[in-house]
Structure 1
Amino acid sequence: MIPPRTFDLAVVGAGVIGLAHAALAQERGLSVVVIERTDRPVGASIRNFGHVGITTQEGEGLAYATAGRGHWLRFAERAGFWIRPAGTMIVARAEDEWALLHRFAELRGDAVELLTPDQTRERASIQDPRLLGSAYCGNDLRINSPEAIPALAAHLAEAGVEFRFRTNVTGVEPGLVRTSRGDVPATQVVVATGHDLDLLFPELADEGEFQRCLLHMLETNAPAGSHFDPVILTGTAVMRYGGLSQHPEAASIRERMQRDTPELLEAFVNVKMSQRPNGRLVIGDTHAYAHTHDPFKDESLDTLLLREFAQLLGAPLTVRRRWHGEYASAAAEDFYVREPHPGVFVACVTNGTGMSTGMGFAESVLDRM
């Protein structure tokens, strides 16, 4: 009987974090197998804005996002998926938001350009009469996640990475991944299962206080005659991005929201939008945290999002698709790495920035290995 092949690296999970590890390891000349329980990527990595947001990150996240930008551009060229250096536009519609953007621009230097209302509307059809200006972050990228993630997987398969879809991992040991279709020997293993870490390493999930963050997101038609090249953020971004949330002006924004629109804080709303290549808008999102979520979708949350975007864009939006996103959340650290067994690494981005930071994060994990 011929013994099974031993791979240099086995990756558990074919989301963006798993694929980033596989892609960068294959470039280093390693033999790689990716093991995924579904027959294609269908998780958080295709249910997002397609935003590679670099400039609003902070600290470790900023370093990972900056390092990952070149990887995204390189793999897009090789795999043939759509990518644009379209940037991010952070819209200010209140004085405290405008003051925050001025401070942000001072700290980020040439990476941020402050725009007047007229300059803002030249790049995106923002119709809210309260518009005071915006900060444009030109280094950031847009991709179309539902196309890009499968295209990256297909490219890696053509380049020699072996994929074992519809294969459930039941255990991981030093040098061995046990699956529903037999054992897979590997010198090293990366477990990149995101919010499902507790299914393989419940003690690590407990230690890291992992929860599942559930999102409400929508795809809508764009208003007639509108255009949105950059990804659009608003004042609610102070709750989501370290590059904004640390400044004193952010406290004023939170206090104002608590006073005027407490429902946005209660639902952890981030009023954010990107435009797909077909012209439709991806809008969102709300955030809820639990180990296990109820399966029922609350229409009031979608109504809240549609209200906010009708104000921002000056027109009601027609919904074409709705979905839940889900990602791992951990209170203690944004970039979780553990080695529960020799040569077995658990790698997880726990703050919802996997598209932005995942490539650089994966590079750092491979360097440790």
Structure 2
Amino acid sequence: MTRFDVVVVGSGIVGLGHALAAVDRGLSVVVVDRAGAIGGASVRNFGHLCFTPQSGLAREFALRSRPLWLRLAADAGVWLRESGTVVVARADDELAVLSELAAQRGTESLFGSGQPDVVVLSAAEVNARLPLAPDTARGGAMLAWDLQVNPRQAAAGLAAYLASRGVEFRYRTAVTAVRPGRVTTTRGSIDAGTVIVAVNHDIDQLYPEIAERDGIVRCGLDMLRVDAGLRAPLPAPVLTGWSLLRYGAFSGLPAAAVLGERLRREYPALGELDLNQMYTQLPDGSLIVGDTHYRGASVSPFQNEHAFEQLLHLTGELFGVTRPHVLERWQGVYASGRADFLIDQPELGVYLVAATTGIGMTTGLGLAEHVIATVCDSPISLTLKGTP
């Protein structure tokens, strides 16, 4: 039997964020995961830290996350680019969404600098930044405060940093039961002051009644890594009109409703894929391309080649290149629910936490800081279910 101030179940970015927030407060921490290494949603993503277009609680957690990522770049050697994000508008209604958010945000910055959060760009300015096909952009926007990490290195780098600060990791260790003050695993029991359950889409394995209550299911994604043969590197992550339907600050605008109706009418096959056409470039020059979305209590492992064909066609069309050479394909899976987050206290001293809209990399560190700060101030007061 061993005892720790905090036991974290799950070694994804949300779980690691809780370990970071706890060890920063001088608490003893153990992270338990049934997998042999970090390989879930925290690895199978774009590495895009998309702070600017978040809204509501997600915006609050994004604001808390950004300085933590900057700190990890310095302290933990996490590869990070202060790149911002370039949004490409290929039609007037896409540009209208960007203009509406820019007007709403005004000249004040979320991060206390003189640079606005959203800067609308002309077509010439977009083309000067990105190697697009001719006559592709009608305009666009720069989201200056967004960051980019390498998803294949970021979580592992954070875990190594935590281990160097005394956090213990127990991989290949399945949790079979969680009770106040104790976590039972396949390698024995652990006594705990506080338990953080951060198992992403596997919430239903330990707390099926909460998953059913909050409508939490699994969301599968189709993603690619390609050699696209671009004529110049991408200086930042790239979003498109389809992305404007996915992020809260965009999708909540009146102009986004008009855009969504037009895109789904003109491109019904892409609409059925629930597409987010976006790109990030890894340090080796390859592009991460994605992604589609499909949901259910379970996700079929059989991926339809139609989705990949569409993604490759769209990539060639946007950048004016021949068919990109596929280096890797994969399926991402994350928790999807009715709210952006699940933050619950099913039992005394036990906290169930998840990002439930696929923005864990962007908001997970801030979410964790919020929860641990609340636990330290009042261990039994947190009863949130996705609300501030």
TM-score (norm 1): 0.97
CA distance in 2, matches of 1:165, 1:239: 38
Q: Does 1:319 find its partner at 2:326?
A: yes
Q: Does 1:34 find its partner at 2:31?
A: yes
Superposed CA deviations along residues 90-113 of structure 1, whole A, max 9, x for unmatched, are: 110001011111111112231111
Equivalent positions of 1:1-369 (< 5 A) are 4-109=1-106, 110-127=116-133, 129-315=135-321, 316-331=323-338, 333-369=339-375
Query: Stretches of 4+ moved more than 3 A in 1?
Result: none
Count of aligned residue pairs for this structure pair: 365
CA distance in 1, matches of 2:73, 2:154: 8
Partners of 1:34 and 1:161 within 8 A in 2: yes
CA distance in 1, matches of 2:217, 2:15: 19
Partners of 2:97 and 2:244 within 8 A in 1: no
Partners of 1:64 and 1:361 within 8 A in 2: yes
Partner-residue secondary structure (3-state), 1:149: helix
CA distance in 2, matches of 1:28, 1:262: 51
Partner-residue secondary structure (3-state), 2:54: coil
Q: CA deviation at 1:197?
A: 0.5
Partners of 1:94 and 1:130 within 8 A in 2: no
Superposed CA deviations along residues 92-138 of structure 1, whole A, max 9, x for unmatched, are: 00010111111111122311111122221222212252311111011
Partners of 1:128 and 1:312 within 8 A in 2: no
CA distance in 2, matches of 1:364, 1:280: 35
CA distance in 2, matches of 1:306, 1:128: 18
Q: Indicate how the Cα distance of structure 1 residues 233 and 324 shifts in structure 2: closer, same or farther if over 3 A, else same.
A: same
- Which consecutive residues of structure 1, in runs of 5 or more, have no partner in the other structure? none
Q: CA deviation at 1:353?
A: 0.4
Q: CA deviation at 1:5?
A: 2.8
Query: Matched residues, percent identical?
Result: 42
CA distance in 1, matches of 2:326, 2:314: 14
CA distance in 2, matches of 1:47, 1:7: 30
- Which consecutive residues of structure 2, in runs of 5 or more, have no partner in the other structure? 107-115, 376-388
CA distance in 2, matches of 1:253, 1:223: 30
Q: CA deviation at 1:364?
A: 1.1
Superposed CA deviations along residues 186-225 of structure 1, whole A, max 9, x for unmatched, are: 1100000000000011111111111100000000013242
Choose 171-180 or 253-262, whichever is displaced more.
253-262
